[in-house]
Structure 1
Amino acid sequence: MAPKTGADTAGVPAETQMLLLEKTGNGVEDTVYALMLPVLDGDFRASLQGSPENELQFCFESGDPDVQTMDAVDAVFVNSGDNPFKLMKESIKILSKIKGTFSHIESKETPANLDWFGWCTWDAFYKAVNPVGIEEGLQSLREGGAPPRFLIIDDGWQQIVNEFKEVDGALLEETVFAERLVDLKENDKFRGEACKNLGDLVKKIKETHGVKYVYAWHALLGYWGGVCTSSDVMEKYNPKLVYPVQSPGDVANLRDVAMDSLEKYGVGIIDPEKIYEFYNDQHSYLSSVGVDGVKVDVQNVMETLGHGFGGRVALTRKYQHALEESIARNFKGNNLICCMSHSSDHIYSALKSAVARASEDFMPREPTLQTLHIANVAFNSLLLGEIFIPDWDMFQSKHETAEFHGAARALSGGGVYVR
């Protein structure tokens, strides 16, 4: 999700999820704002878009050819006021009461880790994250005078398989996003001389390095490519291989390499009737070894999987609410970070989720994107900040723009952590 400004409706991009109009008068006191929020209506979701004829259109879709309607009764919420911030807050509160499918941020429990400086392992290791490296990283930050009290063990700790590697080695790079989860426990890197298991590592870093909160990363479907349908561990969740279908609105804005890969090679999806059991099993294990919460990524894939499941809205809501119930049961303090969750399906299904990433990743190798990143998260937070505490993403402490990013995050009201 990214902001755009303009003076005519023809320039409104496809998949617009918030439209704020400003009408100026002779003075500031004469300025009036109109807010349009395309929302969820039953099993359908709406979005706005401009036309070449300079008309404002709304797109109404279910994501399942078998779920159709001729009626759109409550698809777009409209309100007006003289202060855009008050207007947004008031509108989201009204909308949450009308819909009942999501909650305003003021009614949600705030995770305690947001009060502490943190470190995420992603940039330091990518998928090569390991116990020795984690301890060395924590020690380095301590020696630098910035001991993290919050740690995210990012992608790289799970047991996954690339089922295409055995077929053709040349496919390995192309199918990296189609790798699938085979087990709920940690991989062999976290079982050896450095530590006996994940629980041993978590206990050690809390006692030795003073870390208060440890989160583990996983995708909404387990891993990027879902779960391995032939795995004995996953069999109980009735998984099956499905192929995502991207909507015209999505591809009109951006072709995404991850989604293109999944569209070609498929996703191992868990039976919606078994998804709570899956989350509960995963989270109860993590909790039993001392993990305090989770960062749940790749949530956008749900908007492409609605066909055959009653539509994208129904499927997303089933998964989202199951996730939230599992978090409440297994972790203290609503310890969940939602990531890649900007579709209205997720936004307006978030009853308990209190933290969500507010933009694209921080990209250290793209010098022109540093100020753009901050502009994006600031504008996106106008909407997201009424439903979640916006997470402005981690940043690199040695980056040439580190002070700029650090100051921005200090003002964001969200977490401050480096990678």
Structure 2
Amino acid sequence: QLAVAVAVAPGPPGPCSTSTAVRRPPRHISRSRGLHRGAMSVVAAVSSTHPSATADGSPPQMATTRLERGSLLVGGRELLSQCPPEATLRAGVADAAPGAAFLGARAAAPSSRHVFSLGTIPKGWRWLSLFKLKIWWMAPKTGADTAGVPAETQMLLLEKTGNGVEDTVYALMLPVLDGDFRASLQGSPENELQFCFESGDPDVQTMDAVDAVFVNSGDNPFKLMKESIKILSKIKGTFSHIESKETPANLDWFGWCTWDAFYKAVNPVGIEEGLQSLREGGAPPRFLIIDDGWQQIVNEFKEVDGALLEETVFAERLVDLKENDKFRGEACKNLGDLVKKIKETHGVKYVYAWHALLGYWGGVCTSSDVMEKYNPKLVYPVQSPGDVANLRDVAMDSLEKYGVGIIDPEKIYEFYNDQHSYLSSVGVDGVKVDVQNVMETLGHGFGGRVALTRKYQHALEESIARNFKGNNLICCMSHSSDHIYSALKSAVARASEDFMPREPTLQTLHIANVAFNSLLLGEIFIPDWDMFQSKHETAEFHGAARALSGGGVYVSDKPGVHDFNVLKKLVLPDGSILRARYAGRPTRDCLFNDPVMDGKSLLKIWNLNNLSAAVGVFNCQGAGNWTWLVEEISHVPTAVNITGHLSPSDVESLEEITGDEWNGETAVYAFNSCSLSRLQKHQSLELSLVTMTCEIYTISPIQ
């Protein structure tokens, strides 16, 4: 029963300078949609979601959101000061949340890239940024100074406290997609908050950024995030809130992925051995991902000197839609034969196959007879200045040098349909699609990054709907807002960079990263916190986090290398898992702390189940640095003992599982220490954890 209990508890600032208009005549100039903004500030007063307290106890009056005399006021507080004249505000964008608005600006001349100032964040606010650390992935960063807001910030949550908890205001700034343009936030050395507005195609230009940065405020950061994403989805119409999407059925079953078990050497014999050893140990996988290594690819750079050959791996290209020779031989006749065998013999219910958004890392082989029908051509990616302002990625360095075989956008649905109809015909149930953010670098000549990403994403979703029985798609390497705000049907997305079993200093970072990223991603997708390995020095740490994630639970164990004591805390005998209700996210008192490097903060992650709640407490201090500091600081892991507090009030929306008569009393059970406490909702208990240890608390309301 204890096994069931844990399963139930379940950069450098200012990288850009203001751009000037492209000198040649533009092919396409995007105009604002029915709204002309001059170079003067637009003053608008609208209601906010945060009520102002009154001294006489009368009903609170709604605060106003307005851009006035160089200040942006939200929730009754000044969010930005020294706003320049070119900053604009479009208010009244949602009847249900009259405080919601869009910030924008108008330039003196059209260009494909602008950098506009919005002003300065006054003292008293602290912020949490989710920014693109690499082209593929977001990471969190906290701070208080405007200059410290990192380039490529895609979410900025801010908090300003008053005299009490009731006086705390939260503001949310979401740079979004506006027509053919994409916005991102960044601080500057001049202590200005800027937004970068770019199309990714020199021929797609505009003067106007009208709906570039969504702004909203409230007194509950989680409700604020949920409300804001729902508002945006209705206004934009290009993506959907997670509540409107079909949940893939495989998420409620334990899974196994072949990647860390074999890497690209995956083969039929190894797959069967892995499934058998897990099944015989009492943790039968009902969900399998056949990761990279099953496709027919070609490396066209074999003549390159040995020293350079390794970097060409990411430029390898797809030559055929069917499986390679490893899956055609004595072990199995073909991929269909393997899928049939593992479903019948090992009880696997769902099989996914891996592929990249462009077919393979380097796209498709342009000289392949099979690929000829899709009109492929070789193009060379161009990264945004924002992408290279933080961490460069070795895969993108390779693709920039050797090029990408891109499919004609008008043929991309045909390509996906051919690929997926073949996979479906051999019994495959869905796909994990990787390398998605590469599209943002290929917009030149295709109408820009937003238009190209949306074309591919919607074609992918339509093919999934046509060829597979469920919404069986995992999106990966897809943290650019180009993709996030183009996900109409996609319901699952990886929440961070890979679990890396051979990198000891990245384990605690992984847990903190997925939890913080889920604040944004969890409103649009079910975040996938990635696989882990059960026989690993951090297995308990990772396993506890997966129990709280609200997403899938799957491992990448090598065949025969398992710890079933860990697995049986997560997996029921029939292979099912007990998945929590929402995406696991940091508790409110952790949102603006650094649980990895400040030396004092524990990370608490909360979630709800049908009849109880859970909070996992993790000590992520001392084991590693955030990866953007790796090259600057040689980290030596140090065990640190941290003391903190746990309270039933750490769980948001606890009233969802309590009746109207509940008096606030709870039973709190600590899984590892087997201790039981009786606490009122706002009471707390003290706990201490050393580095890389955790505790899961099940919180049950006493009725």
TM-score (norm 2): 0.59
CA distance in 2, matches of 1:279, 1:365: 34
Segment of structure 1 superposing worse, 103-112 or 24-33: 24-33
User: C-alpha deviations, 1:197-236, integer Å up to 9, x for none?
Assistant: 0000000000000000000000000000000000000000
CA distance in 1, matches of 2:143, 2:272: 49
CA distance in 2, matches of 1:208, 1:29: 58
Q: C-alpha displacement at 1:170, in angstroms?
A: 4.8
User: C-alpha deviations, 1:128-179, integer Å up to 9, x for none?
Assistant: 0000000001111112211100000000000000001145555421200000
CA distance in 2, matches of 1:248, 1:7: 24
The structure 2 residue matched to 1:264, chosen from 401, 419, 433, is 401
Q: Which residue does 1:313 correspond to in 2?
A: 450
Runs of 4+ in 1 over 3 A off after TM superposition: 166-171
Segment of structure 1 superposing worse, 127-136 or 171-180: 171-180
User: C-alpha deviations, 1:320-350, integer Å up to 9, x for none?
Assistant: 0000000000001100000000000000000
Q: C-alpha displacement at 1:368, in angstroms?
A: 2.1
Residues 371, 169 of structure 1: alpha-carbon distance in 2 compared, 3 angstrom cutoff: closer
CA distance in 2, matches of 1:53, 1:61: 22
The answer to whether structure 1 residue 151 and structure 2 residue 288 are counterparts is: yes
CA distance in 2, matches of 1:167, 1:20: 48
Segment of structure 1 superposing worse, 199-208 or 369-378: 369-378
CA distance in 2, matches of 1:240, 1:187: 23
CA distance in 1, matches of 2:163, 2:541: 36
For the 8 Å contact 1:165–1:171, the answer to whether it is kept is no
For the 8 Å contact 1:164–1:171, the answer to whether it is kept is no
Segment of structure 1 superposing worse, 139-148 or 45-54: 139-148
User: C-alpha deviations, 1:368-398, integer Å up to 9, x for none?
Assistant: 2212111111010000000000000100111
CA distance in 2, matches of 1:167, 1:6: 46
CA distance in 1, matches of 2:147, 2:307: 44
Q: C-alpha displacement at 1:196, in angstroms?
A: 0.2
User: C-alpha deviations, 1:293-342, integer Å up to 9, x for none?
Assistant: 00000001111101111100000000000000000000011000000000
User: C-alpha deviations, 1:49-73, integer Å up to 9, x for none?
Assistant: 0011111000000011111110001
CA distance in 1, matches of 2:236, 2:479: 18
Segment of structure 1 superposing worse, 26-35 or 274-283: 26-35
Q: C-alpha displacement at 1:367, in angstroms?
A: 1.9
SS at match of 2:141: coil
CA distance in 2, matches of 1:174, 1:378: 32
For the 8 Å contact 1:162–1:172, the answer to whether it is kept is no
CA distance in 1, matches of 2:504, 2:215: 38
User: C-alpha deviations, 1:17-63, integer Å up to 9, x for none?
Assistant: 00000000111111110000000000000000001111100000001
CA distance in 1, matches of 2:484, 2:443: 17
For the 8 Å contact 1:178–1:262, the answer to whether it is kept is yes
User: C-alpha deviations, 1:264-289, integer Å up to 9, x for none?
Assistant: 00000000000000000000000000
CA distance in 1, matches of 2:335, 2:303: 29
Segment of structure 1 superposing worse, 61-70 or 368-377: 368-377
CA distance in 2, matches of 1:346, 1:114: 22
SS at match of 1:222: coil
SS at match of 1:133: helix
Residues 368, 169 of structure 1: alpha-carbon distance in 2 compared, 3 angstrom cutoff: closer
SS at match of 1:183: strand
CA distance in 2, matches of 1:366, 1:176: 21
Counterpart mapping for 1:40-119 below 5 A: 40-119=177-256
For the 8 Å contact 1:114–1:414, the answer to whether it is kept is yes
The answer to whether structure 1 residue 371 and structure 2 residue 514 are counterparts is: no
CA distance in 1, matches of 2:494, 2:247: 15
Q: Which residue does 1:353 correspond to in 2?
A: 490
CA distance in 2, matches of 1:84, 1:113: 30
Q: Which residue does 2:364 correspond to in 1?
A: 227
CA distance in 1, matches of 2:306, 2:318: 19
The answer to whether structure 1 residue 130 and structure 2 residue 267 are counterparts is: yes
Q: C-alpha displacement at 1:404, in angstroms?
A: 1.2
CA distance in 1, matches of 2:348, 2:389: 44
Q: C-alpha displacement at 1:118, in angstroms?
A: 0.2
**Which blocks of at least 5 consecutive residues in structure 1 are unaligned?**
none
For the 8 Å contact 1:22–1:33, the answer to whether it is kept is yes
CA distance in 2, matches of 1:228, 1:352: 29
SS at match of 1:47: strand
CA distance in 2, matches of 1:319, 1:4: 31
Structure number with the bigger relative contact order (C-alpha 8 A, sep ≥ 6) is 1
Counterpart mapping for 1:227-376 below 5 A: 227-376=364-513
SS at match of 1:71: strand
Segment of structure 1 superposing worse, 166-175 or 77-86: 166-175
Q: C-alpha displacement at 1:352, in angstroms?
A: 0.1
CA distance in 1, matches of 2:186, 2:481: 15
**Which blocks of at least 5 consecutive residues in structure 2 are unaligned?**
1-137, 553-701
